[in-house]
């Protein structure tokens, strides 16, 4: 895919009919403000070149068979990689290799990744239906991005290091639109707090419905600048998802 394929994602929505493809998950809406889910121009696992064999053991079993739970929260990360990234798809493949093979997490930990041009990449495998990160009942596949709080927690990673630099406007816009579309899909109020309950361990945590990794556990992730941007993301996502 060349950059032109993603042009629509990066431009403000003008009053034209969206989306062309009707997805079962999106409700008919008279407003064009909310971005559709799945996002237009989403780069699928096949498109970024995920080697699916990395999800399997030598004996041919899935290392981490997908599990699904209702979405309760959205958590934003950064990948702590270079901000001068000329080949973000290669970076996504490297993170996949690291998570799936080196860390033995069975797959890439995040549900979605966003590069500096605002392109959105499908993350963790969720089955053969065309809806990324979800099963056919709309439940979210369990990722591996926030230890202790993964089931029902949607992980979105910004590709780069945002401890000193800020996410680009295109990246911020895609994060806001993706967050809004997920919030709408799962009836999550972007401005709210959530009493998250781990459906497996029953561990509880009160935090933002749209949180930074550091809101859950002790970490610098997603970097101070991306973290400080989250209040704006919540406000804009709330307007888009309304």
Tell me if 182 sits within 8 A of 241, measured CB to CB: no
Each residue 34-73 as x (binds Zn ion by CB under 5 A) or -, in order, gives ----------------------------------------
Q: Which of 53, 78, 59, 8 is nearest to 228 (CA)?
A: 78
Structure tokens at 176: 């806001």
Count of residues interacting with Zn ion (CB under 5 A) = 3
Structure tokens at 44: 């699928």
The rounded distance, in Å, linking the Cα atoms of 29 and 45 is 28
Tell me if 108 sits within 8 A of 99, measured CB to CB: yes
Q: Between residues 122 and 161, which has the closer beta carbon with respect to Zn ion?
A: 161
Q: Looking at residues 67 to 96 of the shown chain, list those that interact with Zn ion (rule: CB under 5 A).
A: 77
Q: Between residues 99 and 213, which has the closer beta carbon with respect to Zn ion?
A: 213
Q: Between residues 35 and 156, which has the closer beta carbon with respect to Zn ion?
A: 156
Q: Looking at residues 202 to 221 of the shown chain, list those that interact with Zn ion (rule: CB under 5 A).
A: 213, 221
The rounded distance, in Å, linking the Cα atoms of 242 and 31 is 10
3-state SS class at 212:
strand
Binding of residue 111 to Zn ion (CB under 5 A)? no
Instruction: Tell me how far CA of residue 10 lies from CA of 131, 176, 197, 234, 236, in angstroms.
Output: 21, 12, 35, 19, 16
Least distance CB 232 / Zn ion (angstroms)? 19
Least distance CB 222 / Zn ion (angstroms)? 6
Q: Between residues 146 and 176, which has the closer beta carbon with respect to Zn ion?
A: 146
Least distance CB 215 / Zn ion (angstroms)? 11
Least distance CB 148 / Zn ion (angstroms)? 13
Q: Which of 175, 57, 53, 61 is nearest to 110 (CA)?
A: 175
Helix (H) or strand (E) holding 223: none
Q: Between residues 8 and 220, which has the closer beta carbon with respect to Zn ion?
A: 220
Least distance CB 144 / Zn ion (angstroms)? 11
3-state SS class at 176:
helix
Q: Between residues 170 and 213, which has the closer beta carbon with respect to Zn ion?
A: 213
Least distance CB 76 / Zn ion (angstroms)? 8
Least distance CB 74 / Zn ion (angstroms)? 13
The rounded distance, in Å, linking the Cα atoms of 149 and 147 is 6
Tell me if 223 sits within 8 A of 212, measured CB to CB: no
Each residue 130-159 as x (binds Zn ion by CB under 5 A) or -, in order, gives ------------------------------
Q: Between residues 85 and 220, which has the closer beta carbon with respect to Zn ion?
A: 220
> What does the binding site for Zn ion look like in residue numbers (CB under 5 A)?
77, 213, 221
């Amino acid at each position: 895919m060349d950059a032109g394929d993603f042009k629509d994602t990066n431009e403000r929505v003008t009053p034209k009919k969206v989306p062309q493809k009707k997805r079962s998950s999106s409700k008919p809406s008279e407003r064009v403000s909310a971005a559709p889910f799945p996002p237009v121009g989403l780069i699928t696992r096949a498109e970024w070149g995920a080697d699916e064999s990395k999800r399997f053991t030598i004996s041919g079993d899935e290392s981490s068979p997908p599990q699904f739970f209702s979405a309760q929260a959205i958590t934003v990360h950064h990948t702590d990689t270079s901000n001068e990234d000329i080949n973000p798809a290669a970076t996504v493949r490297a993170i996949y290799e690291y998570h799936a093979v080196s860390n033995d997490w069975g797959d890439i930990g995040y549900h979605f990744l966003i590069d500096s041009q605002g392109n959105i990449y499908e993350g963790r495998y969720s089955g053969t239906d065309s809806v990324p990160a979800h099963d056919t009942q709309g439940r979210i596949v369990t990722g591996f991005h926030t230890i202790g709080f993964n089931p029902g927690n949607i992980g979105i990673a910004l590709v780069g290091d945002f401890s000193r630099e800020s996410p680009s406007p295109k990246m911020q816009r895609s994060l806001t639109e993706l967050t809004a579309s997920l919030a709408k899909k799962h009836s999550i109020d972007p401005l709210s707090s959530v009493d998250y309950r781990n459906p497996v361990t029953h561990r509880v945590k009160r935090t933002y419905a749209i949180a930074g990794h550091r809101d859950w556990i002790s970490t610098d992730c997603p970097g101070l600048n991306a973290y400080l941007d989250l209040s704006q993301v919540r406000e804009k996502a709330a307007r888009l998802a309304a």
